[in-house]
Amino acid sequence: MATKNTNLSVYDKETIPNAKDFRIGLVVSEWNPDITNGMFQGAFDAILDCGGIKDNIVRWNVPGSYELIYGCKKMAQSYDMLDAIVAIGSVIQGETKHFDYVCEAVSQGIKDLNVKGDIPVIFCVLTDNTMQQSIDRSGGKHGNKGTEAAIAAIKMAQLRKDATF
């Protein structure tokens, strides 16, 4: 397991660009709200910790992880001044293949947004086998995937800025 004995929330601020000039969107799934709100808080706090400004963080909610794709697409179209978007969701394995279909669609959809769009969209979707695994990765013993995604968003926002001529 990739996160075994790993804390997702550990980062070195000296290696992270200052986020004070970045506008970052957070699209949050309402499904498994204890998990997704924990990841939102981790992302929000990390952006602020790295110099981000509260008024430069935009949050939109969508019903579930499948809807993250459309939510991120519409956010990118609505806020052309955004520097990065984080898609925050949680899909937990059940008894049917629904888990497989949702996980595949969301990962491919977010990939497509990155390939076709100009705003980096960060994949912050937990795809766990159990609720406990999700708890451990949304502020529990393995830290917070939201924190990790926010750091990725800041780095990608800087890359986007540096690559713009």
Locate all alpha helices (DSSP H) within the chain, ordered by sequence.
Answer: 33-49, 68-78, 98-116, 131-137, 145-163
- Give yes or no for a contact between 110 and 62, defined as CB atoms under 8 angstroms apart: no
- Give yes or no for a contact between 9 and 49, defined as CB atoms under 8 angstroms apart: no
DSSP 8-state symbol, 63: S
Rounded Cα gap, residues 155 and 161, in angstroms: 10
> What's the confidence (pLDDT) of residue 1?
41
Low-confidence ranges of the chain (pLDDT < 50): 1
29-163 has which fold? Rossmann fold (3.40.50)
> What's the confidence (pLDDT) of residue 8?
66
98 is a catalytic site residue: yes
Single out the catalytic residue among 13, 20, 74, 98. Answer: 98
